[in-house]
Amino acid sequence: MKTIIISKVVETSRVKKSAQPINALIVVDVQNCFINGNLSLSKSPAGQDGAEVIPIINNLIRTIPFDVIVYTQDWHPWNHISFFENLHFRRQYLAGDQNQTIKMFDKVTYLGPKYKMEQVLWPTHCIQETEDAALHKDLDVISSSSRVIHIRKGIDPDIDSYSAFADNYGVRKTELHDKLKERNVTQVFIAGLATDYCVTSTALDAFDLNYITYVVKDASRGVTLSTIKSQLKKLKQHGVHIITKNSVDLIGDILS
């Protein structure tokens, strides 16, 4: 017997692509840096505790037989464009007054060196090969198998990457879409950190790539209450389904 997670509310045209949906759980950035590290969510304006998602996600992994489980990680080089501490390397590329006062968490516009882009300036976080970038020790990480995918993102020093599918401007794609299609995945359930940034961006890209897409709200935590609210509204308007962990349990059908 196998539990197949089937939405009873999605559009008929999207369900028709597979009589038996292939389901993936995408666990977004459940890393030390966002839980007890330099960019701990508990210190952000919303004051949410990133560690609270771990038992909920673990329960999903243990009780729902997802066909595929994806673990993503921010994986930044030391000189990454998103780090406030690196602003002095790039001040010459700032739009406007290059001597303007800029604070951590401000959004700036860079005109180079490679791309023109807006960028939030975060504390240094998730540097490659550090304990800060590791998945949290309490997260259930399934041993390597054909149903497990690991995605590391944000590796280009000159562009940030919130989504697990691509960087913020679509310049560099990750392997995630190709790997999901290799496994014939049709539905994705997304949970993790942070709701208003990497979870939202991953969900929007997943929907645009024609996956039936769910965000598990109570298995996610965010940075700012106002942006969490606005991003969840944006996701709903886009066609992404916002559900809870209990909904994942309840919308399953038992098929032999």
Active-site residue, from 29, 74, 158, 167: 29
- Is 217 a catalytic site residue? no
Beta strands in the chain (DSSP E): 2-5, 23-28, 68-74, 107-110, 117-120, 148-153, 187-193, 212-221, 241-243, 252-255
Active-site residue, from 198, 205, 217, 245: 198
- Is 233 a catalytic site residue? no
Structure token pair of residue 242:
């916002």
Q: What are phi and psi of 179, to 5 degrees?
A: -70, -35
Active-site residue, from 67, 153, 196, 205: 153
Please state, in angstroms and rounded to a whole number, the distance separating the CA atoms of residues 164 and 162: 7
Give, rounded to a whole angstrom, the gap between the first and last alpha carbons of the chain: 5
Residue 122's nearest CA partner among 171, 163, 161 is 161
In contact, 179 and 203? CB cutoff 8 Å? no
- Is 198 a catalytic site residue? yes
Q: Radius of gyration over alpha carbons of the chain, in Å?
A: 18
- Residues annotated catalytic, as ranges: 29, 153, 198
